[in-house]
Amino acid sequence: MALNRLSEVKEALHQELKGQDSWKMSFLMTRVALRTGINLDAIRPEQEQDTAVLARVVQTLQDMGYRVGRRENEVIR
């Protein structure tokens, strides 16, 4: 399943980082927000399914070493 919503990207990251220190997810969300202007902790309705926004966030995560959406909600680090 491809990731089609920002909330799906956020959930995939949560699953990947589950069990790790909580600050890691917060740190990652901050880095994404600084690089893209998109706050995954408070996704605005108009951003949720915007394909350009989704592509920008996914590309940013890939640039940071996270390959998002290869298989069902998969994040590989």
Residue 18: predicted pLDDT: 83
Residue 70: predicted pLDDT: 56
Q: How far apart are the first and last CA of the chain?
A: 18
Residue 43: predicted pLDDT: 95
For residue 14, pLDDT over 90 is answered with no
At residue 13, what is the residue type? L
Helix (H) or strand (E) holding 13: helix 6-17
For residue 6, pLDDT over 60 is answered with yes
Q: What is the pLDDT of residues 45-63, one digit of tens each?
A: 999 989 999 999 999 999 9
